Structure formats: structure tokens, C-alpha cells
Chains A and B, each alone.
Chain A
Amino acid sequence: MSVTKEEIAGKIKVEAGWKGRQDFNDTNENDLSYSGIPLKPFYTADDVDPSIGQNRPGDYPFTRGIHEGMYRDRLWTRRQYAGFGTGKDSNKWFKDLMAAGQMGLSVALDLPTQMGMDSTDPLGKHEVGRVGVAIDSLADMEELFDGIPLDKVSTSFTINGTAAIILAMYLVTAEKQNVPPEKIRGTVQNDILKEFVARGCYLFPPKESMRLVGDIIEYSITKAPKFNPISIAGAHMKSAGATMVQCDAYKFANAIAYCDEVVKRGYSIDQFAHQFSWLSCSNRDFFESICRLRAMRTFWAKTAKERYNSQNPKTQQLRIHMGGDTDSMTFERPMANIGRIALYCLSNVLGGCQSMQLPCYDEAYEIPTEDAIQNALDVQMTVAYESGVTKVVDPLAGSYFVENLTQSILDELDVVVNDIVETGGAVKWIEDGRLQRKIAQEAYLWEERIKSGKEVMVGANFARDDKSRAEYETMMHPYSEETYDYQANSIKKVKEHRNEAKTQAALAALKTAADGEGNLMEPLIEAVREYATVGEICDTLKASFGTFHAPTGV
């Protein structure tokens, strides 16, 4: 079944205000960037604003980088995503990774933990320890960081729906190492809005979810000032099918919703947004990826200053963690993926990111093996230490093309973000399923382009070989069925040894707090300290908050 562009254009009704690839159906595809920005065969001085020549790195609006010296002064943080099995399994792996050249930890959590269930919950029992480490109670967190000094390491948790609980566990684990909250460094992703449109790890309705997001931000700015209470993410929306520029725009629409949530509690932007971390990814379009970073920095600086009246440059600086398009990792000829990730790494660096994780060559099969993670670290270290690209800041500035594309992306962000904000904002769009629908439509169009061979994926739909998947599956990450038993036993032990009366009292106090309006972090910390499990805590919160099913968009 081959579908022509014209047929697609007829089938997919384009919503007003939606800029995406299909808005340009009459254009030759060589003349479009990945996200659908029109390109010219070449650019001249007429295509750029002459005043850009005066811009300097480290100066508002930070198009050229948030620091004057960039990588000359400090390289980006290499932070590969890892975690599987039990806390004990991952603890060993973390120690190995740090020995192999990793600078910060990035913790993957399994799906039951992300969905607020204990490992023994029937709905989650097949997923225990599979895509990340299983955390059921404080005991697992203690095991995960055993012998890792939490005042020395920065730890990033990919956790959203249960971010407040995981942060509470991290704080108590640190406390037991005599590390006070003000010394811990790291990030919880805590970006719940994108979970409703992509990734799906949300527990409560949007309004209650936003309250928890706000509680984490409020707690961290008052008690744990070195910890990033949120990492506002676009990359997952790419995985769900959005174009890159849509990801960036939706991410900023979500960010505005988070800022409004905290501002309405009486804080000014400069009291909290300097601790924001951002997350995005580069993809196959090398130049668009570089220009997106320049445009995102500019957009955020202007939003902070003009929309929220920020006076502090730190608030206006977009500190961003970059990945690479995980979806582009092919099953077929997985070693071809190493070329892709090297390009992602280079565009992240030329665009000026602050930290980086790369997808791994075996990513299409399973969570990455240790060899594949080492390879991704090697790619990062090669670009950092061998290529010389770190010597000059924002080296592509002044290219007619790069400057023009940066401006075009910035214009597009203005249009799309304003459209969302002026028609109810991100929360309303998500409740109505509008963002989900746009992303699902975009996914369909892209898959059709791959299937029809209009877009090349080397080894997958171009220059294929006859090797079967099975030949590569020998390098897959092993899954141990024993993880479930280990966790079930750990929960049992925890429940036997904890002071049950204290645990129940802490859960009751949490319920009372959730029924009220105050910040939930302290009651959560108390419940965690008494070894209440993730499932017990989430059931308590659900009794107050209710649950929610986001519209699917199809």
C-alpha cells in the first residue's frame, strides 16, 4: 500500500495554527528541514539580520551560549541513562560506570515504580526491574546508593508521576549519610504534562499532578537549592511522533504552565526558574538540531524576561541536557547506529548543551548493555577530547544558513507557543486531547515516509542485508526473573521490620495533608522515612486525588 503525499494531505485535516511537515505538502522535500521549515539552496548576507554580528556568548538572549567560555571553561557532563533489576544490581553498575568515565548518575526506574505501584501489584508484576531499577521503599533506595557519597555525586532521576516520593527517598537516604538537603545535587524530571501526551507515566488528574510539580519546586528552592526540581522535556514527544520544533514548542507551553503554577503561590520567577533544567534531543537533521538549541535558548531568555519580568540572567539561561533521537536506532545492522549517535553528539556540542546522554547502538532491542553504554561514552569522550570542536565557542555563528534557520525556528516557536497559551494553555490542550491528536497525526505521516522509502534509514529501508534479528539478539541485556522475587521478599522484610503504627500514622498524616492545600513534601518525607512503600503512598494520594485517563488522540 503506497500512499501519496496528496492522499495524506487529504486524509489528515490540518488544524489551524498547526505548523508541521504537512503544511508544506507542495514543496519539494529537499527544500524542507526535518520539522518542515522551508530551506533555500544557499544563503547570503541578505538572509540574516546584520546586527547578529554583535551578539556574544554569555550575553542575553544567550543565542550563542549561556556562558562566555562554554567548553573552554567546562565540558558538558557525560551522563548515560542506566539502571535495571534491583537496587543492588544497579549499585554495582553505577560504580562501574563512574569508573568508566561517567561524571553524573542518571537513574532509570522500572515501570511499576514510575506508575506508583509496588513490585507485587498484579498489573505490574511482568515489568519489575525490566526498563529500570525497582524501588518499592526506602530500603531499595539505600541499597541503590550504598557506598556512593551523595554530597559528591549528582544524580538525575527519570521520574515524573512519583517524582515527589523518589525525591523524598533520596533526601532521607542522603540524611542517613549525614548529607543535608542543601548539599544534594541532581534532578528529578517531574515534568508531568508531557507524560499525558507521550510516555504515559502519570497517576493523578492534571490539576492534582500540577500541585505535586509545584510542591517539589517549592520544596527544593527553599530547602535543597542545588537540586533541580524539574527537567522540562521535549524528547519524549519526539518518540511519540512530534516534529522536533513541535517538541520544543510544546515543551515551552508546558514550562509556562509550570511557571504559572509556582508564580500563583506567590513566588517571582527569579526565585525558582534558575533551578530549571531542560531536556531535549538532536535528531537526523544535523543543522536543524544545532539551530534548535540556539533558538530554544533565545526563546526561553525572552520568555523569562518579557513574560515573567525576570531580572536575573541565571533564570533566563536555558541549561539543557541533550539526548539523541532514540527512535532512529535501528534493529537492523545495529552498528550503523554508532554513526548516528556520533552525529547527534556533534550537533549537541555545536549547539552548546550542558550535559548529554546518547542513545546506544543496541537501544532498539532492549535497555542498553554495558558495552553499548561504554561505546556511547567513548563517542562523547572522542568529541570532547579529540575533535577540537570545544576550542571555539558557538563556532557556526555567522553562517548565513545557521543564523537564518535559528531565526526561522524562533519564529515558529513564537507562533505555536502563543497559539497554545492564548487558547487555554497546555493543561487545557492536554485535557481536550489536542496535543495528543497533533502528535498522533504527525507520527502517522512520518511512519508513512519511512515505510514508503521517501526517508532513508540506512540498513533498515536502504542498503539492507539479510541478517536476522536473532543474530544480534545475543548482545541483548539479560533480564532476570529473580528480580520479582527479590523485590517481593524485600517488601515483606520491610513490612516486618518497620514500626507499623508509625508507618500508618505517617500515611494518615499524608492523607490529611493531601485533602488540604499545603505542600506535600514534608508529609511524604515522613511516610518514606517510616518505610511506607511506593504503592501505599500512591494509594493514599489516589484516595484524595482520584485517577485520570488522558484522551489518546486517535
Chain B
Amino acid sequence: MQRKIRVLIAKPGLDGHDKGAKVLVNVLRDAGMEVIYTGLHQTAEMVARAAVQEDVDIVGLSYLSGAHIGLTQEVINALKEAGADHMKVIVGGNIPERDFSQLDTMGVAAIFAGGSSYDDIIGTFNDLVAA
């Protein structure tokens, strides 16, 4: 049997708005993925540790406070340090378009700003893992 896609959804930093993250957890589970949600207030190290422990394919980072650039870089560094830089990092939430290229350069595999469709997100996840 094919391995189910494993996803960690995380909320790095101090932002407490996690409606979108929780909705996505349910949507991805409905699409047949194994999804773990970290809860709020995660440091980059906590995210990397959880990702390694759960042996996930994709690490999804959700932000609404505007701190996505600095925090994403920290998570990518922490994953690298944990020997998990094969994991795909995706970013979602309130992400201005002007920051897309900077996130791309860091190595973020996909960005889903507010209003992204579920089909797009699920399709991208499937493609990222198949690739």
C-alpha cells in the first residue's frame, strides 16, 4: 500500500490566530493525508523536532502576524540542522505578494496566501511529494 502523505502544520512565533491552520488540518485529513498540528507558539527548534519525530514529507507554516520572513528562515535553518532539509516547506496565511520572491529564495516550495483553493493546496501537496 502506498504510504500516506505525512504533513506537519505549525504555528511558529507568537501569533494566536490558527483558524486557517485548523481548517487546513481537517481539509488535508479529508484528502487522505496524515496531519499533525503543533498548536501555537512554536520555536523553530520545536517545529523541526516535531517534523523529524513524525517523519513528515511536508512542513506547513501558518502566519497572520507579518513575521513570516524571519520565522521561516529560522525553521528552514533548524530543519537543515536536524538533517531534515529534504522535507518540503510550504507557507500559508497572510503573506503579501511582495514577500513571495524572498520566500522562494529561502527554498520555500509553495506559498498559499489567503483565498487559496483547497484543490490547489491538495494538488500541490500531492505533486511535491510525488516529485
Q: Give A1-36 as 1s and 0s: 1 = Cβ < 8 Å from B's Cβ atoms.
A: 101000000010000000000000000000000000
Q: B108: CB under 8 A from chain A?
A: no
**Residues of the B chain whose Cβ atoms lie less than 8 Å from the Cβ of A1:** 30-31, 118-119, 122
Evaluate whether A123 and B41 lie within 8 angstroms (CB atoms) in the complex, with A331-B114, A554-B26 already known.
yes
Across the A-B interface, how many residue pairs have beta carbons closer than 8 Å? 112
- Say whether B67 contacts A115, CB under 8 Å: no
- Say whether B13 contacts A111, CB under 8 Å: yes
- Say whether B15 contacts A111, CB under 8 Å: yes
Cα A125 to Cα B67 in complex, Å, equals: 9
**Residues of the A chain whose Cβ atoms lie less than 8 Å from the Cβ of B27:** 444
- Say whether B43 contacts A123, CB under 8 Å: yes
Q: A440: CB under 8 A from chain B?
A: yes
Cα A200 to Cα B18 in complex, Å, equals: 9
Q: A85: CB under 8 A from chain B?
A: no
**Smallest CB–CB gap between B33 and chain A, Å?**
13
Cα A55 to Cα B67 in complex, Å, equals: 52
Chief secondary structure at chain A's binding surface: loop
**Residues of the A chain whose Cβ atoms lie less than 8 Å from the Cβ of B69:** 126
**Smallest CB–CB gap between B46 and chain A, Å?**
10
Q: Give A318-348 as 1s and 0s: 1 = Cβ < 8 Å from B's Cβ atoms.
A: 0000000000001110000000000000000
Q: A201: CB under 8 A from chain B?
A: yes
A199, A444, A479: the one contacting B23 at CB < 8 Å is A444
Q: A549: CB under 8 A from chain B?
A: yes
Q: Which of B3-33 contact A (CB under 8 A)?
A: 13-19, 22-23, 25-27, 30-31
- Say whether A131 contacts B65, CB under 8 Å: yes
Q: How many residues of B contact A (CB 8 A)?
A: 36
Q: B86: CB under 8 A from chain A?
A: no
Evaluate whether A131 and B96 lie within 8 angstroms (CB atoms) in the complex, with A1-B118, A11-B30, A200-B18 already known.
no
**Smallest CB–CB gap between A485 and chain B, Å?**
14
- Say whether B98 contacts A470, CB under 8 Å: yes
- Say whether B39 contacts A549, CB under 8 Å: yes
Q: Give A361-405 as 1s and 0s: 1 = Cβ < 8 Å from B's Cβ atoms.
A: 000111000000000000000000000000000000000000000
Closest chain B residue to A241, Cβ basis: B19
**Residues of the A chain whose Cβ atoms lie less than 8 Å from the Cβ of B122:** 1
Q: Give B49-81 as 1s and 0s: 1 = Cβ < 8 Å from A's Cβ atoms.
A: 000000000000000011101110000000000
**Smallest CB–CB gap between B121 and chain A, Å?**
10
Cα A130 to Cα B70 in complex, Å, equals: 13
- Say whether A470 contacts B97, CB under 8 Å: yes
- Say whether B19 contacts A469, CB under 8 Å: no
Q: A51: CB under 8 A from chain B?
A: no
Evaluate whether A240 and B118 lie within 8 angstroms (CB atoms) in the complex, with A127-B65, A365-B94 already known.
no
Closest chain B residue to A452, Cβ basis: B118
A451, A476, A552: the one contacting B37 at CB < 8 Å is A552
Evaluate whether A451 and B118 lie within 8 angstroms (CB atoms) in the complex, with A200-B41, A239-B17 already known.
yes
Q: Give A123-137 as 1s and 0s: 1 = Cβ < 8 Å from B's Cβ atoms.
A: 111110011000000
**Smallest CB–CB gap between A111 and chain B, Å?**
4
Closest chain B residue to A441, Cβ basis: B26
Cα A127 to Cα B71 in complex, Å, equals: 10
Q: A257: CB under 8 A from chain B?
A: no
Evaluate whether A553 and B114 lie within 8 angstroms (CB atoms) in the complex, with A126-B67, A468-B97, A479-B66 already known.
no
- Say whether A126 contacts B30, CB under 8 Å: no
**Residues of the A chain whose Cβ atoms lie less than 8 Å from the Cβ of B17:** 199-200, 239-240
Cα A554 to Cα B43 in complex, Å, equals: 20
- Say whether A469 contacts B40, CB under 8 Å: no
Q: B105: CB under 8 A from chain A?
A: no
**Residues of the A chain whose Cβ atoms lie less than 8 Å from the Cβ of B31:** 1
Q: A65: CB under 8 A from chain B?
A: no
Cα A71 to Cα B63 in complex, Å, equals: 41
- Say whether A473 contacts B22, CB under 8 Å: no
Evaluate whether A476 and B96 lie within 8 angstroms (CB atoms) in the complex, with A451-B118, A554-B26 already known.
yes
Show 27 A/B contacts (Cβ-Cβ < 8 Å), sorted by A: A1-B119, A11-B30, A112-B14, A115-B14, A117-B14, A123-B14, A123-B41, A125-B70, A127-B14, A130-B65, A130-B67, A200-B15, A240-B18, A240-B19, A331-B113, A331-B114, A364-B114, A365-B94, A365-B96, A443-B19, A447-B23, A460-B115, A473-B96, A550-B39, A552-B18, A552-B22, A553-B22
Supplied contacts A126-B67, A366-B66, A476-B96, 11 more A-B pairs, CB within 8 Å:
A122-B43, A130-B65, A131-B66, A241-B19, A365-B94, A366-B94, A444-B23, A444-B27, A473-B98, A552-B18, A552-B22
Question: Chain B: residues with CB nearer than 8 A to chain A?
Answer: 13-19, 22-23, 25-27, 30-31, 37, 39-41, 43, 65-67, 69-71, 94, 96-98, 113-115, 117-119, 122
